[in-house]
Amino acid sequence: MLNDSLLPVSAHAYAVACRDAARPACVVRITAVHGSVPRATDASLVVDATGFGGTIGGGHLELEAIRLAREKLENHGGFPVDFPVDNRRFPLGPSLGQCCGGAVELRFSPLTDDELPALAALEPPRRAVWLYGAGHVARAIVYALLPLPFEIHWVETRDEMLPDGPFPSHVVLHHTEDAAAEAREAPAGACHLVMTHSHAIDFDIVQAVLARGDAGYCGLIGSATKRTTFERRLAARGIADDRIASMVCPIGIADLPGKRPEVIAVAVAAQLLGWSLHDR
C-alpha cells in the first residue's frame, strides 16, 4: 500500500538513521533570518554523502547548503565525523539569485548524539487522529495525512479490511469488535473521523465521542440529511445541544467540493490541519 520513498523524511529521522548506520553526516541549522526568507529558525537539514532529510526551504540556498555540507564531510571523512562548526550568512538575492530578498544565517556542524535532542525538539507535535473505518475514503485520508503532523489511530471492526503494512510508526492499527469502546478510550483532545461501513456503528461512535465532551474535533462523513438524522437521535439520547452542534458533518473544507475519495481526503486533511494549528 505504501511507498515510503514518496514521504518526506524529517531531519531528526534522517539523523537517527545516520547514527544507527554509522554514516558521517552534517547538520545544517537556520540560526537567524533577516527579511523575506523561505523558512524560519525552526528548519533544519541533515546531509550525508548520498542523501538528506529535512529542509531549509529548498531552492538554491538548500542546494548550496548540501554542497557545502558534503564538502565538509569529504574533507573530514570517517565516523564519527569531526570538523569545526561553521557559521555562514547567505544573502538570498545577491549571492544565490533568489527573489526572496532576505538573508539567512546557517550553522554547519557534525552530527553527533548530542545533536539529536535539539533536532527532535524542532519536530512539530503530532495530534492524535482516530479514524474509524477502512473504506476507500478512509484509505485516501490516511495517505493524505501521512506527511502531516498527526498520529493516526486507524480503527476497524473487520480484520480483513485493514491493509497490510508496513506503516510508519505514527500509524497505529486497531482491530476491534467494538469501535465505540475505542472512542471512549481515546485521549482527551483527540480528533475523531467517523466513516465506517455501518450507520449504526457510526452513530455509536459519535455518541461515545460527544458524550465525553473532550474531543478536539468530531467529524462524521455524510450528507446534511445524515446530519439531521443523527442530531435528532443524539438529542433523544440526552446529548447536549452544544455538543451536537460541534459535530462536523459533512466533513472537509467547503472550497473543495467533490465526492471522489482522494478529493474528500484533501479537503479533510486541510480541515484537520487548520483545526490542529488553531487549537494549540
What's the pLDDT at 180? 96
Determine if the peptide bond prior to 250 is cis (ω within 30°).
yes
Residue 36 pLDDT more than 90?
A: no
Rounded-to-integer distance, Cα 256 and Cα 280, Å: 25
Mean pLDDT of 12-34: 94
Mean pLDDT of 97-119: 87
Question: What is the average pLDDT score of the chain?
Answer: 91
Residue 98 pLDDT more than 70?
A: no
Q: Using pLDDT thresholds of 50, 70 and 90, give the confidence band for residue 97.
A: low
Residue 168 pLDDT more than 90?
A: no
DSSP alpha helices (H): ranges in 76-149? Answer: 92-96, 115-121, 136-145
Residue 266 pLDDT more than 80?
A: yes
Is the model's pTM score more than 0.75? yes
Q: Which fold has domain 127-278?
A: Rossmann fold (3.40.50)
What's the pLDDT at 4? 61
* pLDDT (tens digit per residue) in 178-235: 999 999 999 999 999 999 999 999 999 999 999 999 999 999 999 999 999 999 999 9
What's the pLDDT at 100? 64
Q: What angle do CA 188, 143, 171 make, to 5 degrees?
A: 45
Percentage with pLDDT > 70 across the chain? 95
Q: Using pLDDT thresholds of 50, 70 and 90, give the confidence band for residue 96.
A: low
What's the pLDDT at 94? 63
- 185 Cβ contact partners less than 8 Å away, ≥ 6 residues apart: none
Residue 279 pLDDT more than 80?
A: no
Are the beta carbons of 109 and 127 closer than 8 angstroms? no
Domain boundaries, the chain: 4-121, 127-278
Q: Using pLDDT thresholds of 50, 70 and 90, give the confidence band for residue 15.
A: very high
What's the pLDDT at 2? 52
- Between 76 and 1, residue with greater pLDDT: 76
What's the pLDDT at 275? 86
Q: Using pLDDT thresholds of 50, 70 and 90, give the confidence band for residue 7.
A: confident
Long-range contacts of 180-185 (CB under 8 A, 24+ apart): 180/204, 180/205, 180/207, 180/208, 181/208, 182/130, 182/132, 182/153, 182/155, 183/130, 183/132, 183/208, 183/209, 183/212, 184/208, 184/212
What's the pLDDT at 82? 87
Q: Using pLDDT thresholds of 50, 70 and 90, give the confidence band for residue 99.
A: low
